[in-house]
């Protein structure tokens, strides 16, 4: 970063409001030749780097020039990145967090030691994690944001492994780093295996827990095993995909009624009474197994 007088041969364009105020005392000139007219006081408060820059002694020619022109600070980032940086630093509403430009904004925020920008990005990741868990995990992992990385990894369980791989392939290496993707896919696979192990244990004769007489159902009725097979198939698609089938009694009750259960009112009453308790215990078993799986962040860069 250098400070020099406004003597560029190519006339820069001027950023939009509020960064076009000619009363400003410094100009941030971006890599694509856009000028942001800003105030040193605001920039200094947000960035110790700029505070140091503005307090350094100036060369004699720069001191003479500053009586007629604002200082010009040439920066390596483009105008889109600096527009976001300044709007976060200025006393104005924050811009909408955009994952597509967040990497550049975060890197610049770290470069200029803008703590408010770093927290803006961390908060933004949390806000959009369910929309794009892969990109959120990559950004959090590469930035050393542990809490955000764990939240994004958990959100990724709502997508299939194929969808995650397709998303990564479509975006290319720029969007997803190899180490981050490897960590996420391993966590994804282990979480899926944990759920399937819990379900398979409950689908095997004589190994499923007896809950208010539901063991009788398993040992004498193939419809129950067919229902559990459908639950396992849903979990094979996504690590939390089968949770919909065991969230309420409706699907299991339908499986019973569609397999000859309509003819016996006593059986209907019995099954309707015990299914909720059985499913509650099954949900707890799946949750317990999956909660034992943790995303491995041991090789993640440390946040500085």
Three-state SS for 180-207 is HHHHHHHHHHHHHHHHHHHHHHHHCCCC
State the pLDDT at residue 216. 52
**pLDDT confidence tier of residue 174, bands split at 50, 70 and 90:** very low
The mean predicted confidence, pLDDT, of the chain is 84
Does residue 37 surpass a pLDDT of 80?
Answer: yes
Q: Is 213 helix (H, G, I), strand (E, B) or coil?
A: coil
**pLDDT confidence tier of residue 17, bands split at 50, 70 and 90:** very high
Of the two residues 149 and 177, the one the predictor is more confident about is 149
State the pLDDT at residue 186. 94
Does residue 209 surpass a pLDDT of 60?
Answer: no
Burial class, 294, CB count within 10 angstroms (exposed 0-12 / middle 13-18 / buried 19+): exposed
Distance CA 98, CA 103 (A): 9
Across the range 82-111, mean pLDDT stands at 95
Does residue 93 surpass a pLDDT of 50?
Answer: yes
**pLDDT confidence tier of residue 303, bands split at 50, 70 and 90:** confident
In the chain, what are the domains?
2-99 (3.30.710), 191-291 (no CATH)
State the pLDDT at residue 45. 96
State the pLDDT at residue 5. 39
**CB of 178 within 8 A of CB of 159?**
no
282: CB partners within 8 A, 6+ apart: 198, 199, 202, 246
Helices of type H across the chain: 40-46, 48-55, 60-65, 79-89, 99-111, 115-128, 133-143, 146-156, 161-171, 178-203, 214-220, 222-237, 250-257, 265-291
**Residue whose C-alpha is closest to residue 105's, from 133, 91, 125, 131:** 125
**pLDDT confidence tier of residue 6, bands split at 50, 70 and 90:** very low
Per-residue pLDDT reduced to its tens digit, 226-274: 888 888 888 888 888 767 777 778 888 888 888 765 667 777 887 788 7
State the pLDDT at residue 205. 47
Does residue 65 surpass a pLDDT of 60?
Answer: no
State the pLDDT at residue 168. 63
Across the range 177-199, mean pLDDT stands at 91
Per-residue pLDDT reduced to its tens digit, 214-227: 555 555 577 777 88
**pLDDT confidence tier of residue 117, bands split at 50, 70 and 90:** very high
State the pLDDT at residue 260. 62
Does residue 60 surpass a pLDDT of 80?
Answer: no
Distance CA 113, CA 137 (A): 23
Across the range 285-301, mean pLDDT stands at 93
Per-residue pLDDT reduced to its tens digit, 150-162: 999 999 999 888 8
């Amino acid at each position: 970063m250098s400070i020099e007088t406004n003597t560029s041969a190519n006339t820069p364009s001027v950023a939009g409001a509020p960064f076009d105020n000619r009363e400003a005392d410094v100009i941030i000139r971006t890599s694509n030749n856009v000028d942001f007219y800003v105030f040193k006081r605001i920039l200094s408060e947000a960035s110790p780097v700029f505070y140091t820059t503005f307090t350094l002694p100036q060369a004699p020619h720069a001191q003479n020039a500053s009586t007629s022109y604002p200082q010009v600070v040439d920066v390596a980032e483009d105008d889109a990145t600096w527009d976001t940086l300044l709007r976060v630093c200025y006393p104005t509403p924050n811009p909408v967090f955009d994952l597509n430009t967040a990497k550049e904004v975060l890197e610049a925020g770290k470069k200029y030691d803008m703590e408010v920008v770093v927290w803006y990005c961390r908060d933004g990741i949390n806000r959009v994690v369910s929309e794009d868990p892969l990109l959120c995990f990559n950004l959090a992992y590469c930035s050393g944001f542990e809490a955000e990385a764990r939240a994004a990894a958990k959100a990724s369980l709502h997508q299939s492994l194929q969808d995650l791989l397709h998303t990564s392939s479509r975006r290319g290496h720029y969007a997803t780093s190899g180490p981050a993707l490897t960590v996420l896919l391993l966590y994804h696979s282990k979480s899926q295996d944990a759920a399937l192990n819990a379900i398979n244990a409950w689908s095997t004769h004589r190994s499923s827990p007896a809950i208010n007489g539901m063991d009788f159902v398993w040992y004498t009725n193939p419809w129950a095993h067919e229902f559990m097979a459908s639950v396992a198939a849903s979990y094979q698609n996504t690590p939390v995909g089968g949770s919909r089938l065991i969230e309420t009694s409706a699907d299991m009750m339908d499986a019973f009624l569609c397999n000859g259960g309509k003819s016996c009112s006593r059986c209907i009453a019995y099954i309707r009474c015990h299914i909720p308790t059985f499913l509650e215990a099954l949900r707890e078993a799946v949750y317990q197994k999956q909660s034992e799986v943790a995303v491995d962040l041991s090789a993640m860069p440390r946040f500085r």
